[in-house]
Structure 1
Amino acid sequence: MQLGDNLSQIATNHSMVGGWSSLYDANKSVVGSDPNLILPGEQLTLR
């Protein structure tokens, strides 16, 4: 993660089926309860 990244942008850049919500579901343990708050340095699973 880098400053300015968001789940929607990441999902689009990686052509993720299900979009940002799929990315969030796969990474709730990292992101926490607010999908609008992701922090630089967090490592997300892309699947």
Structure 2
Amino acid sequence: ALAFIANPSLVLLDEPTTGLDAAAKRKLWDVIRAARDAGLTIILTSHR
């Protein structure tokens, strides 16, 4: 959440869903998609 406060043009996320339950993962992906759709560049790592 802190990464989005300063309205950056790029966000790096390292395994952002690690430790989250299924509902929290869905909400986080919704936030990530909305940020992407708003023009934010997002680079993330995932083992999925």
The TM-score, its normalising length taken from structure 2, stands at 0.29
- Report which structure shows greater RCO (CA 8 Å, sep ≥6): 2
The TM-score, its normalising length taken from structure 1, stands at 0.29
Greater Rg by CA: 2
